[in-house]
């Protein structure tokens, strides 16, 4: 079984994950401004042109580019449960 810890850009779509860390404090601060904290449950809902992701965090929908998605370390919850 692959490790449930991965960067967001490699998280399969529609799998829930917990945001564990960000590569930079700046990214963490930007997420916090949108109301997303470390520990938040997120789900990538679709890929975007250019390789980015749209993530659902509760009712929020946030678009990220590929580089930012690579900056987010998540723990896949569904994989951990299975």
Partner 1 sequence: MNPPPPSATQTGAPPSSPRQVPSCHEGGASLAPTGAPVIALAGTPNVGKSTLFNALTGARRTMGNWPGTTVEVGRGAWRPRTGTAYDLVDLPGAYSLDATSPDEELTRDLVVTDEAHRPDVVVLVADSAHLSRSLYLLSELRERAQRVIVALTMTDVASRRGIRVDPDRLAAAVGVPVVALDPRARRGLAALADAIERDLAAPHTAPRQLGPRHDGDPLARADERFAWIDACVDAAVDRQATARRSWSDRVDAVVMHRLAGPLVLMAVMWVVFQITTTVAAPLQDALDRWVSGPLTDGANTLLAGAPTLVHGLIVHGIIAGVGMLLTFVPLMALMFLLLALLEDSGYMARAAVVADRTMRAMGLPGRAFLPLIVGFGCNVPAIAATRVLTGARQRVLTALLVPFTSCSARLTVYVMLATTFFEEWAGTVVFAMYLLSILLIVGVGFALRRTLWRTMGTEPLLLDLPAYQRPTIRVMTSVTWMRLKGFLRTASGIVVATVCVVWLLQAVPVKGSAALGETAIEDSAYAAVAGTLAPAFAPAGFNQWEATGALVTGFVAKEAVISSWAQTYAVSDAEQGADTPLGQNIRRDFEASSGGHPVPAVLAFMAFLLAYTPCVATLAAQRREIGLRWAVFGVGMQLAVAWTLAVVVFQLGKLFW
Q: Which residues lie near partner 1 (CB under 8 A)?
A: 27, 29-35, 37, 45-52, 54, 56, 58-65, 67-68
Rounded to the nearest angstrom, the gap between the alpha carbon of residue 13 and the centroid of all alpha carbons in its chain is 10
Which residues have C-beta within 8 Å of that of residue 75, sequence separation ≥ 6? 4, 5, 17, 18, 20
**N- to C-terminal Cα separation, the chain:** 10
Rounded to the nearest angstrom, the gap between the alpha carbon of residue 64 and the centroid of all alpha carbons in its chain is 9
Of the two residues 12 and 35, which places its CB atom closer to partner 1 in the complex?
A: 35
Q: C-beta of 3: minimal distance to partner 1 in Å?
A: 26
Q: C-beta of 36: minimal distance to partner 1 in Å?
A: 9
Of the two residues 21 and 60, which places its CB atom closer to partner 1 in the complex?
A: 60
Of the two residues 21 and 32, which places its CB atom closer to partner 1 in the complex?
A: 32
């Amino acid at each position: 079984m692959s490790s449930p810890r991965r960067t967001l850009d490699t998280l399969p779509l529609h799998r829930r994950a917990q945001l564990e860390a960000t590569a930079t404090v700046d990214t963490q601060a930007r997420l916090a401004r949108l109301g997303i904290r470390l520990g938040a449950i997120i789900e990538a809902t679709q890929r975007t042109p250019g390789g980015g992701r749209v993530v659902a965090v509760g009712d929020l929908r946030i678009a990220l580019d590929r580089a930012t998605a690579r900056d987010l370390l998540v723990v896949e919850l569904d994989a951990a449960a299975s």
